[in-house]
Structure 1
């Protein structure tokens, strides 16, 4: 099936994919803890029976059971060398029973390993891992690919690149969302679909983790920005415990009633996940097959994103600043730190500019004495972990640009693409491949344009080439190319004319490098801000500037206010009051231009008064925390005091920010890792090692479940709070857990499960503990677990995340 045929199918009618595979195979005897691929190949009748039932129920697409067929997952069973044979046979089983006119999709999912910088799996290694599986599947032949049950947008990107670099088949990507409406890594449905469709994905949606009712709000977020069809594949409600078994009680009629609302919200492709059966799919098809197909509008979306934030570029919106400070040009101290391999100033500049009101951050690593490509990659890893703002990738080298766009976990802005023939097409192809927006610089190989007409010609040259490559003109932002007024008296006038031409004739946003206008002039602050206010009145959209410049930020806000832009008056009124006696040139850069805090803990004020060690924990400064701890030790501060008054204080703030959804998984792990480094430095100094652990905790992912991201984070957080943690790993039998708890006289047993198919193993542990007289309190957690399930199996506690687990353990231990 070609991508065009797939799109035409969805424009013709509602399309149906299959339902649950795992729960259906369990009904047919698949035990927990086995390698699913191996069991399926040894019991091929079972998978073919399930798949035939789904085709007969009306599914247009059925997934081949290649869900965990990557090298990383198969290695957990010692089967990695059989990868090609396993994937080919699994596809073949499905193709054998696929009726004419129906389709077979390859199924790809998470590897269970975390990507760098949270984990140790490098992005390119993950692309290669997926590519190996994709090519094995392609050697047997499928009609399309489904990348499903994904928790990380970056892992989705890796899988998409692996597929697109191997073939041109249709791609569906489906993520799973937590009750807060975001992925584990803080990505919203709106961000996910913006990024993935810009990369050329043909359908984006959601599956697992919830029933159809809870998906309605998620579809409502996706629909306004969707340029591709939306898929929904919900569970048959939430799992319940009945007679010692996990059951899904949502009937096919109830399931379809809820899915009808999803259709009305904009979903076009329907299926089922955990607990759904051929009967659920049959009822779906019966009710929805004659529904009129949604006509997908191909809307231009002028937006850039990070993994956790969208920044819309609105022609008539408020003026925005692209923070310019992560650029070593003219910054000797910054250059020195980069040559020494330190990125501390990169992170400091990023955080500072975010707090001061920047909307996007420009990242430029162009300087002598460093490996620009590697430093660019390292900086992107650091900045995207530290702040939420989208990035503008700033380099003149095509290879550096591609390396940066490849690992960037969002939709970036390219700075910049000129009419220089040698690079223009290469850079535009990168924008197309990675779905980026780009700044158009009206320059050619001949140098600066002689006049406004030549400037317009260069703009048209870039836009026309972009159109040839299938790129919308709306993906462009035009740099008005500011020259210094000291050398060219009409420089500002030419810029104003360019701004008006771009906004009113081309309908495109504009940007400028603000400080160029005053180069070589005295009292530059007056020239810059006057130029800015006039440019804003002409329609300038944004500038690459230093948001620390108070005069610039206030004048821009005042200009927006005087032009009556939406929300501008409220934004201006919220700015801190400043002294008016200071000369503008002196005031620039001295005061914070961000709105004053309205009270309560925020990322901006989180470090107020906590001290440098706690700040290192809060901001995840792994490279600085040992030096800050050593300063306190040199001052005579006792090690135990540093733990209690500094490290614990910092990690408490991290937990609170996480609770308030100001921080997400990357920041939580960064803080926990920084604290762990600090603890390792202090532990040898504790007097006679006589400081006893607060409690002994045995922790494990239960038998049959090989997911351990959440469990690992819980273990790390508990260790940081002084608990002794014995981590048994993943896929651990109940008897092993209880035997270890008895052996070490554990106070608490912590159990994790990600899958509904393995959550009942927790009940096994609770029952075995009673049989063996184990007195440890048992706490549980995981994506599929809730408070009700805790009560049903008589566990002692439940927590929804790592930060809450620490509080739970403290309550149970009366600490």
Structure 2
């Protein structure tokens, strides 16, 4: 199948996928806890019969049952050495069921292990894992690929890169979102679309997550940013407990009735996830087959993205600033820090620039005495945890830029591509491969252009080549090439002419390093300020500048106001109020003030694992007791992290980073607590992911957070039987049992544990959580509490302990 063939199927009507596989196999007798792929191979008639019914119902693309057929998942069952045979046979079963009447998609998903820095998995290792499975599926004869139920944008990128590097078959990427509209890792639907379509995904969508009614809003958000078709594959409502079984009770007729809503929201490809069966698909087809999907957007946005935020770039919109500070040139403190492999100064600069109003952060690690590529990757890793701002990758070396773009879990800006032979020939294809935008620098191997006409010729040459490679003019931002007016009296005039020409004639966005204009002159601030105003009036889109320059930033906001740009009045007033707040003493201590006074607090708040021990040791040297440091400094800090997480200012990466930082401090202080009268014994908690479930990211974070608060936590791991959980609880004299489940097929094992606790008349509280778990489910099975995330789990445990 080609992309064109795929798109032709949705020209006049929706394209239909299949429904659930797992829940239907369980109905057919598949027990929990087994390897689904192996069970299917032992009962092939069940899978073939199910998929044949889907095809009869109207399914045009079947998902081969290779969902967890990667090396890591199969290793859980000791089957990794059978990866080729199993995946090949599973594809064969689906091809037999399709019988030429439907296409077969090779199905991939997350491995269950997190990428660094949140986990130990390295990017290239993960790409190789996906590439291994995808190569087997390709050889087995799949027509296209689907990467589904993805919770991590970074892992989605890895799978997409892997597939694109082995073939040209279409690739569908399908994310799953929590109730707050973000993935487990904090990615929103708009960001997912921007990043994945720029990297080459042919279809992007959402599966699992919710019922069809709730999914419409996610689809609608995706549609606003999508230049590719959107997929919707909802559950049959939300899971409920009926007669002791977890079921999706939305009947086929009701499920199908939401189909027109999903098409209206922007979905062109429809299917079903958990709880759906062939009848759900049949009625969905019947309810929507006469509808014509909305075409993909033909207008392309200028837009960058981090892992958790998009930044639109509008030639008629707000003036934007690319923070230039993370560059070691002329910065001795930063140079010394980088030579030590220390990211503290980089993190500090990222935080300060975001606070001062930067919209994008330029990252340059170019200096002698370090491995620039390794340091660039390390900087990206740390900055991504620190800020949600998208990055501008700045290097003189092609290999450094390529490595950075491959690793960055967003859509970056390249600084820059000129007509210099090496950059021109190598970097443009790299920009295309990784979906990056780039700054066009009008230089050539001959150096600076001699006049404005030569500058225009260089711009046209680079633009034409970029367009021939499949890049678009919306991917290009032209540097006005600001020279100093002290050396060239026409420097400002020529730059302004370049800005006007690019914007008004070529329809291109523009950027400039504005402070260059005043180099060598006295009282440079006045020259810079005048030039900023003139450049913005001519249409300058953004500047590479130091956002701590208050006069430059304020003039930019004021210029937008006077030019009547959308919402410029509100933005100006908001900025002036912020500046006033910094000057006026309110008499109350803000978090920012507290972090300046207390470096232990600040280290936890910012996830600074490298510095936390030095700061704790300083507190000990000052005479503070270990218990005081924990209770009065560390715990308030992690409480603040929890508050920021609750308000969606922080997301999972920051929560984990802060929790790991606190853990480092706690482990250092714990041996000192034995003789410390201020310490108190806290509850003992048994934690486990229930039997049949091998997902443990959420559970591990809960364990980490509870330990940070001083609780005695015994982590039994994943896929743990009820008998082992109860035995450990009795032996450890536990006060609380905490249970986690990610899948609807395993959540009922929680009820088994609750019932065994009651049967043995144990005075132990049971709390539960996980992606599919709700408060109503906790109430139905008789659990003592439910938490929606790790921060909430701490609050729940504190409440239960105070009530006991």
TM over 0.5: yes
- What is the distance in 2 between the residues matched to 1:687 and 1:810? 22
Match of 2:675 in 1: 688
- What is the distance in 2 between the residues matched to 1:622 and 1:297? 44
Match of 1:28 in 2: 28
Match of 1:543 in 2: 543
Match of 1:510 in 2: 510
Deviates more, 1:759-768 or 1:42-51: 42-51
Match of 1:588 in 2: none
Kindly state the Cα deviation for residue 622 of structure 1 after the two structures are TM-superposed.
Answer: 0.3
Match of 1:756 in 2: 744
CA displacement, residues 284-305 of structure 1 (integer Å, 9 cap, x when unaligned): 1112122223322322110000
Is residue 114 of structure 1 aligned with residue 114 of structure 2? yes
Which runs of 5 or more residues in structure 2 are unaligned? none
Match of 1:650 in 2: 637
Match of 2:300 in 1: 300
- What is the distance in 2 between the residues matched to 1:233 and 1:564? 43
- Please, what is the CA RMSD of the aligned residues? 1.8
- What is the distance in 2 between the residues matched to 1:275 and 1:658? 31
Say if 1:198 and 1:594 are closer, same or farther in 2 by CA, change over 3 A.
farther
Alignment of 1:241-320 (within 5 A): 241-320=241-320
Match of 2:788 in 1: 800
Is residue 789 of structure 1 aligned with residue 777 of structure 2? yes
Say if 1:218 and 1:375 are closer, same or farther in 2 by CA, change over 3 A.
same
Is residue 378 of structure 1 aligned with residue 375 of structure 2? no
Q: TM-score, normalised by structure 1?
A: 0.96
Deviates more, 1:174-183 or 1:217-226: 217-226
Say if 1:601 and 1:101 are closer, same or farther in 2 by CA, change over 3 A.
farther
Say if 1:566 and 1:595 are closer, same or farther in 2 by CA, change over 3 A.
farther
CA displacement, residues 670-698 of structure 1 (integer Å, 9 cap, x when unaligned): 11000000111111222437745310000
Kindly state the Cα deviation for residue 497 of structure 1 after the two structures are TM-superposed.
Answer: 0.4
| Matching residue within 753, 767, 776 for 2:764 | 776
Say if 1:96 and 1:285 are closer, same or farther in 2 by CA, change over 3 A.
same
Kindly state the Cα deviation for residue 600 of structure 1 after the two structures are TM-superposed.
Answer: 12
- What is the distance in 1 between the residues matched to 2:296 and 2:116? 36
CA displacement, residues 452-506 of structure 1 (integer Å, 9 cap, x when unaligned): 1100001001100011101111110000001111111111110010010011101
Match of 1:527 in 2: 527
CA displacement, residues 704-729 of structure 1 (integer Å, 9 cap, x when unaligned): 11100000000000000000000000
Match of 1:464 in 2: 464
Match of 1:135 in 2: 135
Kindly state the Cα deviation for residue 187 of structure 1 after the two structures are TM-superposed.
Answer: 0.9
Kindly state the Cα deviation for residue 13 of structure 1 after the two structures are TM-superposed.
Answer: 2.2
Kindly state the Cα deviation for residue 38 of structure 1 after the two structures are TM-superposed.
Answer: 1.1
Match of 1:766 in 2: 754
Say if 1:141 and 1:598 are closer, same or farther in 2 by CA, change over 3 A.
farther
Kindly state the Cα deviation for residue 558 of structure 1 after the two structures are TM-superposed.
Answer: 1.6
Say if 1:741 and 1:774, in contact at 8 Å, map to a contact too: no
- What is the distance in 2 between the residues matched to 1:713 and 1:597? 38
- What is the distance in 2 between the residues matched to 1:374 and 1:720? 32
Say if 1:550 and 1:593, in contact at 8 Å, map to a contact too: no
Match of 1:583 in 2: none
- What is the distance in 1 between the residues matched to 2:580 and 2:480? 28
Say if 1:126 and 1:576 are closer, same or farther in 2 by CA, change over 3 A.
same
SS at match of 1:575: helix
CA displacement, residues 63-117 of structure 1 (integer Å, 9 cap, x when unaligned): 1110001111111111111111111111111112212241000110011111111
Alignment of 1:18-167 (within 5 A): 18-167=18-167
Match of 2:184 in 1: 184
Kindly state the Cα deviation for residue 223 of structure 1 after the two structures are TM-superposed.
Answer: 1.2
Match of 2:729 in 1: 741
Kindly state the Cα deviation for residue 660 of structure 1 after the two structures are TM-superposed.
Answer: 0.9
- What is the distance in 2 between the residues matched to 1:594 and 1:530? 26
Alignment of 1:327-726 (within 5 A): 327-576=327-576, 605=592, 607-608=594-595, 611-688=598-675, 691-726=679-714
Say if 1:499 and 1:510, in contact at 8 Å, map to a contact too: yes
- What is the distance in 1 between the residues matched to 2:227 and 2:316? 23
Say if 1:225 and 1:299, in contact at 8 Å, map to a contact too: no
Kindly state the Cα deviation for residue 196 of structure 1 after the two structures are TM-superposed.
Answer: 0.8
Kindly state the Cα deviation for residue 592 of structure 1 after the two structures are TM-superposed.
Answer: 9.3
SS at match of 2:544: strand
Kindly state the Cα deviation for residue 594 of structure 1 after the two structures are TM-superposed.
Answer: 9.0
Say if 1:411 and 1:742 are closer, same or farther in 2 by CA, change over 3 A.
same
SS at match of 2:140: coil
SS at match of 1:362: strand
Say if 1:550 and 1:807 are closer, same or farther in 2 by CA, change over 3 A.
same
Say if 1:425 and 1:465, in contact at 8 Å, map to a contact too: no
- What is the distance in 2 between the residues matched to 1:426 and 1:13? 41
- What is the distance in 2 between the residues matched to 1:277 and 1:492? 67
- What is the distance in 2 between the residues matched to 1:302 and 1:318? 13
Kindly state the Cα deviation for residue 257 of structure 1 after the two structures are TM-superposed.
Answer: 1.0
SS at match of 1:361: strand
Kindly state the Cα deviation for residue 573 of structure 1 after the two structures are TM-superposed.
Answer: 2.3
Kindly state the Cα deviation for residue 213 of structure 1 after the two structures are TM-superposed.
Answer: 0.8
- What is the distance in 1 between the residues matched to 2:170 and 2:563? 46
Match of 1:587 in 2: none
Kindly state the Cα deviation for residue 33 of structure 1 after the two structures are TM-superposed.
Answer: 0.6
Say if 1:608 and 1:682 are closer, same or farther in 2 by CA, change over 3 A.
closer
SS at match of 2:802: coil
Which runs of 5 or more residues in structure 1 are unaligned? 579-590
Kindly state the Cα deviation for residue 281 of structure 1 after the two structures are TM-superposed.
Answer: 0.3
Kindly state the Cα deviation for residue 538 of structure 1 after the two structures are TM-superposed.
Answer: 1.2
Say if 1:607 and 1:618, in contact at 8 Å, map to a contact too: no
Say if 1:272 and 1:618 are closer, same or farther in 2 by CA, change over 3 A.
same
- What is the distance in 2 between the residues matched to 1:598 and 1:245? 56
- What is the distance in 2 between the residues matched to 1:609 and 1:427? 42
Say if 2:55 and 2:101, in contact at 8 Å, map to a contact too: no
Count residues with an aligned counterpart: 802
Kindly state the Cα deviation for residue 422 of structure 1 after the two structures are TM-superposed.
Answer: 2.6
- What is the distance in 1 between the residues matched to 2:373 and 2:178? 36
Say if 2:484 and 2:491, in contact at 8 Å, map to a contact too: yes
